[in-house]
Amino acid sequence: MHIHLFRQDQFNPLVSLPTSIDNIINVDAVILTHLHLDHFDEVAKDLLPKDIKVFVQDKKDAKELRDAAFKNIEILHKDTVYEDIKLAKTPGQHGRGEILKIAGNVCGVVFKHPNEKTLYVAGDTICYEGVREVIATHKPEIIVVNAGDNQFLDSDSLIMGKDDIYEVYKTALNAKIIASHMEAINHWTLSREELKSFINEKGISSDVLVPDDGEEYTF
C-alpha cells in the first residue's frame, strides 16, 4: 500500500512546542500508547532520561525501548498500578479499511485514583465497539480523544473525526471530552475551527472541549 500525505511539502511537527522541553520531560513516568513517529521520535529518545519509568503496550514495543537504552520499562495490563494510580490498558483501532493492515497495534489507558476523577485517554483510535465498551465498563468522567481526523490521501480516517467525537459524547453523556492531537501533523483534515463549529451546532460545546496548544484544564 502506498502512502500519500495531504501536505507533503510541510515537515512534521507543523507547530512549535507551547512550553520548554525541560517542562515536558519533568514528569514521573511516560506512557507510550504506540511508537509511531508522531508519538515517539528520535528527539524524544535522545532527551528523555534513560532511567525514566516508561509504560508500553506490548513486548514488541518494550524491546524497541530496550534497544534504545531505556532501562525502566513496564508493559501495561488491565490491572497495572503505579504510585496508587490504577492504570487499565484499553484497546484501540487505528483507522478504518485497508490502512489497518499497516497501522499496527495501539492502546489507550484508563487512570483511576480514589481522590480523582476517572480519566480515559483513548489514544490513536476511531470510535468503535472497543471504545464504547471501555466507556461502559469504566464510566470515565474525563475522556481525551485524539481528533483531527488524520488521513492519507488514499485512506480512510486514522483517528477520530467529528462524527466519532459525537458518538463518544452520546456514549458518555456525563463525561467531559477533550479533543487533542489537532493541527500538528501534516495529515490532519479536521481543524479546531471546524470542530468547534460542529459542536456548537450540536449544542454540546460545554461538554466537548477543544484546547489550544499548551492550554490546561483542572477538574
| pLDDT at residue 194 tops 50 | yes
Indicate the fold that domain 77-214 takes in CATH: Metallo-beta-lactamase; Chain A (3.60.15)
Estimate the crossing angle of helix 192-202 against helix 162-171, to 10 degrees: 40
Residue 4: the pLDDT is: 46
| 77 neighbors 58 (Cβ within 8 angstroms) | no
pLDDT of residue 185: 74
- Which stretch of 24-28, 33-37, 79-83 has the lowest confidence by average pLDDT? 33-37
The pLDDT value given to residue 106: 94
Classify burial at 128, counting beta carbons within 10 Å of its beta carbon; exposed 0-12, middle 13-18, buried 19 or more: middle
> Which grid coordinates belong to 26?
519533568
| pLDDT score recorded for residue 160 | 92
* SS3 category, 102: helix
Query: Mean pLDDT in the chain?
Result: 90
Res. 86: pLDDT tops 70: yes
Predicted local distance difference test score (pLDDT) of residue 110: 99
**Weakest-pLDDT range from 6-10, 22-26, 176-180:** 6-10
φ, ψ at 4 (rounded to 5°): -125, 130
Q: Which three-class secondary structure state does DSSP give residue 187?
A: coil
Distance (Å, whole) CA 154 – CA 136 = 33
Q: pLDDT band for 10, please (50, 70, 90 cuts).
A: low
The alpha carbon of 80 is separated from its chain's Cα centroid by a whole number of angstroms, namely 19
**How far is it, in rounded angstroms, from Cα 31 to Cα 43?**
16
Tell me the pairing of strands 29-31 and 53-56.
Answer: parallel
* Average pLDDT rounded to a whole number, residues 189-206: 95
Read off the pTM. 0.90
Measure the CA–CA gap between 190 and 195, rounded to whole angstroms.
7
- Identify whether the C-beta of residue 24 lies closer than 8 Å to the C-beta of residue 47: no
Q: How does pLDDT run across 106-157, given as a tens digit for each residue?
A: 999 999 999 999 999 999 999 999 999 999 999 999 999 999 887 766 667 8
Cell of 19: 512550553
Calculate mean pLDDT across residues 154-167.
88
* Model pLDDT, residue 177: 99
Question: What are the domain boundaries of the chain?
Answer: 16-75, 77-214
Q: Which residue has the higher pLDDT, 22 or 9?
A: 22
Per-residue pLDDT for 8 more than 60? Answer: no
Cα Rg for the chain, rounded, in angstroms? Answer: 17
What is the per-residue pLDDT for 1? 46
| Residues in the chain, total | 219
